[in-house]
């Protein structure tokens, strides 16, 4: 089963499952998860090929949805489910194929569409694979070495959260080969959908960064064909990484939707 980090205690409110995006982990959502756990259990996962979860050559959305179904089934009741970016596509697939497991759905800054294959993610993977790590002792030195391949400091800081410096030999807590080999699937969306998939008719919030281009207005017909109760809310001043750029505003929007 996927590796999980639990925050708070079980209450009468449904637990919230948080599913990170590409290169992300349960730890990346730690502060947001802790704040949201004041009156409910919050469970954040490492997706397959990320963090402390298992490795697999299959990084398809049906496979990721099955992973999430296993986590929810272990809890013994439907959960509220939140997914960001790649995690948003995984939770959409879960809701379309196993709707009985999803109480309410929040999709953060992604749509059920295929995105242009720009090569940006492949360039990040190439930079991580090229990084000389065997003699690293500090994250500062790792940051210096990664800078030529990843010029943006915020992106480097995010990626380096998945570089393990303490537990045994220095290593990436990402299956870079599998992610590289599955990038077409990751930026894509299954067409046709798996057999048995059907529109999810439960409450659904599409949360997006106000300056992001991942949830464009012209994607709404595709969203509403699959999620007829879709609502939309933008976080002003936030880009794609809305939970990192505007965490308090993102938390407030999540809590308001789940408290209805």
Q: What is the DSSP string of the chain?
A: ---EEEES---SSPPEEEE--TT--GGGGHHHHHHHTTSS-EEEEPPTTBTTSPP-S---HHHHHHHHHHHHHHHTS-EEEEEETHHHHHHHHHHHH-GGGEEEEEEES--SSPPP--SHHHHHHHHHHHS--TT---HHHHHHHHTTT---HHHHHHHHTTEESSSSS-EESB-HHHHHHTHHHHHS--SSPPTT-----S-EEEEEETT-SSS-GGGHHHHHHH-TTEEEEEETT--S-HHHHSHHHHHHHHHHHHT-
258 compared with 118, residue with greater pLDDT: 258
pTM, rounded to two decimals: 0.96
Confidence of residue 119 (pLDDT cuts 50, 70, 90): confident
Look at residue 214 and tell me whether its pLDDT is greater than 90. yes
Average pLDDT, the chain: 96
Would you say residue 118 has pLDDT above 90? no
Which of 35, 103, 240, 243 does the annotation list as catalytic? 240
Together in a domain, 134 and 216: no
> How distant, in Å, are the alpha carbons of 3, 18, 117, 186, 240 from that of 254?
23, 11, 30, 25, 16
Express as a percent the part of the chain with pLDDT over 70: 100
pLDDT at 168: 81
Q: What is the pLDDT of residue 107?
A: 98
Q: Quick check: 107 and 250 in contact, CB under 8 A?
A: no
Is 9's pLDDT higher than 80? yes
Same domain for 74 and 109? yes
Residues 156 and 109 in one domain: no
Tell me which of 139, 158, 182 is where a domain ends.
182
Residue 117 confidence (pLDDT) above 80: no
Instruction: Give the active site residue among 39, 57, 152, 177.
Output: 177
Residues 163 and 44 in one domain: no
Yes or no: say if 34 and 28 are a contact pair by the CB < 8 Å rule: no
Give percent of the chain above pLDDT 90: 97
State whether 211 and 172 are in the same domain: no
pLDDT digits (tens, 9 = 90+) for 220-229: 999 999 999 9
Catalytic residue selected from 25, 53, 85, 162: 85
pLDDT in tens, 161-173: 999 998 789 999 9
Does residue 85 have an active-site annotation?
yes
Q: Tell me: do 40 and 88 sit in the same domain.
A: yes
Same domain? For 159 and 254 the reply is no
Task: Give per-residue pLDDT as tens, 85-110.
Answer: 999 999 999 999 999 999 999 999 99
Per the structure, the count of domains in the chain is 2
Question: Do residues 105 and 170 share a domain?
Answer: no
Whether residue 16 is found in the same domain as residue 102? yes
Q: What is the pLDDT of residue 121?
A: 93
| pLDDT greater than 90 at residue 248 | yes
Is residue 177 part of the annotated active site? The answer reads: yes
Q: Which two tokens stand for residue 85?
A: 């970016």
User: Of the candidates 182, 208, 225, which is a domain's last residue?
Assistant: 182
Res 219: pLDDT: 97
Same structural domain, 12 and 99? yes
Task: Identify the domain boundary among 135, 159, 182.
Answer: 182
Asked if residue 131 and residue 110 are part of one domain, the reply reads no
- What's the domain range around 160? 120-182
| Cα distance between residue 165 and residue 169, in whole Å | 7
pLDDT tens digit sequence for 47-69 = 999 999 999 999 999 999 999 99
Residues 84 and 50 placed together within one structural domain of the fold: yes
Using alpha carbons, select from 130, 132, 18 the residue that is nearest to residue 80. 18
pLDDT confidence bin for 210, thresholds 50/70/90: very high
Q: Report the CATH number at residue 64.
A: 3.40.50.1820
Per-residue pLDDT for 33 more than 90?
A: yes
């Amino acid at each position: 089963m996927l590796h999980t980090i639990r925050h708070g205690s079980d209450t009468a409110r449904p637990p919230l499952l948080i599913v990170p995006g590409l290169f992300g982990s349960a730890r990346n959502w730690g502060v947001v998860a802790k704040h949201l756990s004041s009156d409910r259990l919050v469970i954040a996962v490492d997706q397959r090929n990320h963090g402390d979860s298992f490795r697999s050559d299959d990084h398809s959305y049906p496979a990721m949805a099955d992973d999430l179904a296993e986590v929810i089934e272990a809890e013994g009741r439907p959960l509220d489910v939140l997914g960001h970016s790649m995690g948003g596509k995984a939770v959409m697939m879960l809701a379309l194929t196993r709707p009985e497991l999803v109480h309410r759905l929040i999709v953060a800054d992604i749509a059920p569409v295929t995105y242009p294959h720009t090569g940006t993610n492949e360039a990040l993977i190439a930079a991580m694979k090229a990084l000389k790590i065997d003699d690293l002792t500090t994250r500062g030195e790792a940051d210096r070495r990664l800078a030529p391949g990843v010029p943006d400091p915020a992106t480097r800081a995010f990626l380096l959260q998945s570089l393990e410096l303490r537990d045994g030999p220095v290593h990436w807590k990402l299956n870079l080969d599998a992610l590289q080999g599955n990038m077409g699937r990751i930026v894509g969306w299954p067409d046709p959908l798996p057999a048995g998939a059907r529109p999810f008719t439960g409450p659904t919030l599409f949360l997006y960064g106000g300056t992001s281009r991942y949830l464009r207005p012209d994607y709404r017909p595709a969203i509403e064909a699959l999620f007829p109760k879709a609502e939309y809310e933008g976080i002003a001043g936030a880009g794609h990484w809305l939970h990192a750029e505007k965490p308090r505003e993102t938390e407030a929007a999540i809590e308001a939707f789940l408290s209805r």
